[in-house]
Structure 1
Amino acid sequence: MNDPGSAVKVERDMYPGINAFVKCVADSVSRHTQERDGKPRARSIVPFEKTDVKPDGADDLDRVDHMVTGCPNVGPVIKPDYAMALCLIEAKYSQNGQTDAYEQLARYSRNIYGSQPHRRFLWGLTVCGTLVRACLLGNDKIYASKAVDVSEPVGREQLVGLFVNWSLCESTRVGYDPTMWRDDNGEWTIKVFQNGTPHVYSGLEMVFQSYSLLGRRTRCFVGTTKAGGAEKEVFIKDCWPRVLKDSAGSPRDEVAFLRHIHDTLGADANLAGKYPMLEVAGLVQVPGRGPADVDDTTTAAMADLVMSDTAPPDAMPLREHKRIAMSPVGEPLQTVDSPDELIVAVCDAMEAHTEIVRRCGILHRDISINNILVRRTGDMVGGMLIDFDNAIRLDVEHVAAQPDGTGTLPFMSVGNLEESQVKLTALDDWESCIYALCWQGASGVNDDDQERPRDKPLKQILKWRNGSKADIATDKRAHMSSTSLFENHILAEFISGDARYQPLEDLVERLHKDLFFNPGASLLCHGCYMGKEKAKALQNGERPQEKQYDFGVDINITDPFARRAEIADKIVDDLMKTFREARDRAIKRLYPTRRETISE
């Protein structure tokens, strides 16, 4: 940390001073907190020796200025590792670099969540000149303290106090979850609660990592429990959903949705394994985090420093830390061996989706490559639709806002991106399904295909990921607005020179026509843009009225998305028929000796 009048003009000149300060505090804490047997009573908050490097466990190429750890170690900690990080430190030699320091701290810290599945929240520090700010990174906001000037004794005293508190406080106060831990063999164990009773699952295998800094931060695992003396594998979801209610005042609760789905569809053997079966579910119970802790002196001291100039607490949305254990167990969609396996898996998921909409009145609203799993039974492949966090009841919510950024940008429908007031139907999710299939077709259905060299770089489809929601919606409207534009801009970016991808391209082309240019619907239902010319074309008799799905629909509705919503059930029938036919052909290619198909 440099004096304003010093000759320090680059960040790297600050690193030795920061390291020396952290080590000094750690040594002092260690000397003052040892028991008689020499066992330390405090965690050791120490820096990694190397600075300005890419840490292990990163999913990007960014270099981190500093990283400190609270893990017990023998000897110096050399190479930074996100799996061991307590917090990051972002340094700027000028006090004018505060905004950049915040931005980099937030961008880099997300990797800690990806490497530490038991982190509930994160800490960070920014050092700009001699001004230090502590940051608390939560699900919805990043809080920053008032600046502490370490060129003055009172500032150094406050910063020392923060490190001492980190050294002495319980693990929950630095962001660790005591209901999830790793044993001496490196294996993770987790507790899933139901009605306050913990159910323990061990041997966790990470299925889906969360690199998200804000929002639900959904993580998924496969765990094992012993039931009746036999081991059983379950799929475990850990997330922080917002507490929301529908327009009728009832909670939007994934657990309640799953129970209703099972009660309604459980006897249908054709849907077995295509949606999750609820095993155990409930809110995470963290020991010792009750009202009695409010006046704890450690908490108060840390809050004085870290929370002093933040927004009022009532500005924060209410979230619940929830865990759900489900069966059967699936694998990420990216584990498919071929485009044919992808077609089978996604078709199974959309088959479940269709029946859940029609027979349960529940709309998923978040179709993406992360929310469809692959199931393998013997040599057979199938698919399963998961994650009903954003689902709604269609009988009470006809138009719904997007309170938590519903969906994943590349896969969100135009209506969701624009927060449209068009009637909610299954067509939004089918649109998302098409985008997901396009994404896999262009980037590759698995890691091996994604790493293959390309003839030309992706360009158009990447527009679905970059920019604001409005920008992405504009690009999607353009891409989907005609069959020629869709073929020339999106299908043209599918992996070429591989015959395995042709059936996937053919399927996507047919699904696009079924949804956006359905031959049974009038011209008013076609495309993505409103316009009087469509009404004129219809009135001029370009298509006989009696053959159109939307005969009788108000001709003044010229928004094609709104008109398609009026005939959603019939369009879904066409989409599902197309998908089942493609699935049956894929099964025959995958299993040429098998005589019957799933649809039969």
Structure 2
Amino acid sequence: MPGSAVKVERDMYPGINAFVKFVADSVSRHTLGRDGKPRARSIVPFEKTDVNPEGADDLDRVDHMVTGCPNVGPVIKPDYAVALCLIEAKYGQNGQTDAYAQLVMYSRNIYGSQPHRRFLWGLTVCGTLVRACLLGHDKIYASKAVDVASPVGRELLVGLFVNWSLCESTRVGYDPTMERDEKGEWTIKVFEDGKSHVYGGLEMVFQSYSLLGRRTRCFVGTTKVGSVEKEVLIKDCWPHALKDPADRLRDEIAFLSHIKDTLGADANLAGKYPMLEVAGLVQVPGRGPANVDDTTTAAMADLVMSDTAPPDAMPLREHKRIAMSPVGAPLQTVDSPDELIVAVCDAMEVHTEIVRRCGILHRDISINNILVRRTGDMVGGMLIDFDNAIRLDVEHVAAQPDRTGTMPYMSIGNLLQSMVDRTALDDWESCIYVLCWLGTIGVNKEDQRYQRANTKNTIYSIHEWRDGDPKIIAKKKRGHVGSLANFADAILDELINHEKYKPLHALVKSLHRALFFNPGASPLCHGCRADDETLEELQNGTLPLEKQHDAKIGPSFTDPFARRAEIADKIVDDLLDTLTKARDEAIKRLYPTRRETISE
């Protein structure tokens, strides 16, 4: 049996293979239909072991994996696209922790390769002890260890493989609302009011490699509107279920519906935000709305190797799909910094309108959430993904400060979970970080290669915004943006030194000044900390009147972020004006023979 008398992991693989094949052959013999073909799912191993599987985004070698897909002939090299579960083996029982770590690390590739996968299974084999693992959205469970050197242990493991062979596809983690036709093309169903809308020609444009959380994936699909094929962007995700009806005010579908109703007639904003087409909860045949209760928890209860239920209930998540139009491309498909400026300006223009006319704050401005759209030879931008948005007219944001967004682009207040109200300024701060990031590493792959070839520096200040404790990242950002000199030294001097990047340099510098050192605000609102000398003058009554721009300024208002939040509308006007002027100049450079703007 696996691991019974071996000291090297690779010596365990033949025994694992033989065991899986034995069970598969036995199941096939006992489930033959009248046509002589097996009616059970065939759980078989791959012939090659300890290799880098097809479909990996890294160079890691997995010990073993099994597939549940029908095949003719031997299954040779492991392929993440058809993997049912991974197997990590250690020759000693003290290797359990490492086996778990590797299983979690490698399994993420299955999500990247299987668009119809809802949750994952895994096995660890340490000596003769085997554990089955269920990798869910919020937690990872492992069964009790069974010793396959004993008859009871082997019986339990056989039972697991038999269950995988005979159960419905949903219980091994597959989504029945996504199917592949005879040509190998995927179709997907999007549900609304109990009806399903089928989209074909599916192409994955955003993969999810995350084991935990929403696991958002995006596809481009097509449907016929009359005799015309229409493309839509389909978002597939698993947000937490909103149990309280009042929480529906924070539902992305509700946001998109409200935005459509409010801005749909404004031709100047068309194409700059996602227009809702169809949206709703995924309906699993025979079960109704799909959620974690009918997948992961139920599957765990069916795990024959476990003698106990999960120790605590997992958070309930809902499986949602949203079809939207138009379809955009990733931000880093721009051809130049000028195209980047145009795309970002369009996104922040509609962001401002959504805040002011819809009362919705986005709260997750990032590289992934601004798309590029092309109409003929013209370029534009689109703001997407309202997962983390909030209704400003209903909720007091600072009452329950949370941390939302993408780490490198989060505002300082967001990182610190500050009690200062979240305003549009937080998203504008994120916008500045997006421009700093792409201005430093390059707006596309070609410029990234140029940057690597023409600079000795490969570690930049912006890399300190990427990983680690949020409070430490906030401290780093304070140091980088808290003064004009620090910003020039830490950020501006590290932007790509090329003529075509000069307008982006100027824009980043102007936006930084307009946000953190707005000339229309009191000096107490400048930077990231109150100026002690100015505060002392204010307290002593010696601060000149020309410096007291805001009548509300007082000794108790020493937090620049709090002070700027109170005059956010005025600062947003300055920021948008700065960005719009930069867009108009970029358009002149991009289209010297054309005078009209994108919106015209």
Q: Same fold (TM over 0.5)?
A: yes
After TM superposition, give the deviation of residue 533 of structure 1 in Å: 4.3
| Structure 1 pair 595–459 and aligned structure 2 pair: CA distance change class (3 A) | closer
Q: Give the aligned residue type for 1:41.
A: R
After TM superposition, give the deviation of residue 399 of structure 1 in Å: 2.4
Match of 1:238 in 2: 236
- The alignment's TM-score, normalised by the length of structure 2, stands at 0.93
Q: What is the distance in 2 between the residues matched to 1:308 and 1:404?
A: 35
Does 2:106 match 1:105? no
Match of 1:522 in 2: 522
Match of 2:336 in 1: 338
Counterpart of 1:305 in 2: which secondary structure? coil
Alignment of 1:60-71 (within 5 A): 60-71=58-69
Match of 2:42 in 1: 44
Match of 2:387 in 1: 389
After TM superposition, give the deviation of residue 427 of structure 1 in Å: 0.9
| Structure 1 pair 534–333 and aligned structure 2 pair: CA distance change class (3 A) | same
Give percent identity, aligned residues only: 76
Match of 1:481 in 2: 482
Q: What is the distance in 2 between the residues matched to 1:367 and 1:517?
A: 21
Equivalent residue in structure 2 for 1:277, among 275, 278, 282: 275
Match of 1:262 in 2: 260
Alignment of 1:14-163 (within 5 A): 14-163=12-161
Aligned partners of 1:222 and 1:329 also within 8 Å: yes
After TM superposition, give the deviation of residue 98 of structure 1 in Å: 2.0
Q: What is the distance in 1 between the residues matched to 2:160 and 2:205?
A: 36
Aligned partners of 1:515 and 1:575 also within 8 Å: yes
Q: What is the distance in 1 between the residues matched to 2:147 and 2:502?
A: 63
Alignment of 1:123-522 (within 5 A): 123-244=121-242, 250-289=248-287, 302-306=302-306, 308=308, 310-313=310-313, 316-400=314-398, 406-452=404-450, 453-454=452-453, 455=455, 456-496=457-497, 498-522=498-522
Aligned partners of 2:413 and 2:426 also within 8 Å: yes
Match of 2:559 in 1: 559
Counterpart of 2:106 in 1: which secondary structure? helix
Counterpart of 1:20 in 2: which secondary structure? helix
After TM superposition, give the deviation of residue 285 of structure 1 in Å: 0.3
Match of 1:536 in 2: 536
Cα RMSD over matched residues? 2.6
Q: What is the distance in 2 between the residues matched to 1:382 and 1:348?
A: 6
Q: What is the distance in 2 between the residues matched to 1:444 and 1:273?
A: 26
Aligned partners of 1:276 and 1:386 also within 8 Å: yes
Q: What is the distance in 2 between the residues matched to 1:247 and 1:443?
A: 44
After TM superposition, give the deviation of residue 36 of structure 1 in Å: 3.2
Q: Give the aligned residue type for 1:503.
A: P
Q: What is the distance in 2 between the residues matched to 1:579 and 1:380?
A: 18
Aligned partners of 1:143 and 1:307 also within 8 Å: no
Aligned length, in residue pairs? 592
Aligned partners of 2:48 and 2:77 also within 8 Å: yes
Q: Give the aligned residue type for 1:410.
A: P
| Structure 1 pair 262–477 and aligned structure 2 pair: CA distance change class (3 A) | same
- The alignment's TM-score, normalised by the length of structure 1, stands at 0.93
Q: What is the distance in 2 between the residues matched to 1:389 and 1:174?
A: 28
Aligned partners of 1:243 and 1:252 also within 8 Å: no
Q: What is the distance in 1 between the residues matched to 2:150 and 2:185?
A: 46
Q: Give the aligned residue type for 1:32.
A: H
Unaligned stretches of 5+ residues in structure 1: none
| Structure 1 pair 337–299 and aligned structure 2 pair: CA distance change class (3 A) | closer
Counterpart of 1:303 in 2: which secondary structure? coil
Unaligned stretches of 5+ residues in structure 2: none
Counterpart of 1:80 in 2: which secondary structure? coil
After TM superposition, give the deviation of residue 290 of structure 1 in Å: 5.8
Aligned partners of 2:277 and 2:324 also within 8 Å: yes
After TM superposition, give the deviation of residue 299 of structure 1 in Å: 5.6
Cα deviations across residues 506-534 of structure 1 (Å, max 9, x unaligned)? Answer: 21121111111222222221222356445
Does 2:570 match 1:577? no
After TM superposition, give the deviation of residue 443 of structure 1 in Å: 2.1
| Structure 1 pair 94–189 and aligned structure 2 pair: CA distance change class (3 A) | same
Q: What is the distance in 2 between the residues matched to 1:126 and 1:309?
A: 20
After TM superposition, give the deviation of residue 125 of structure 1 in Å: 1.2
| Structure 1 pair 537–236 and aligned structure 2 pair: CA distance change class (3 A) | farther
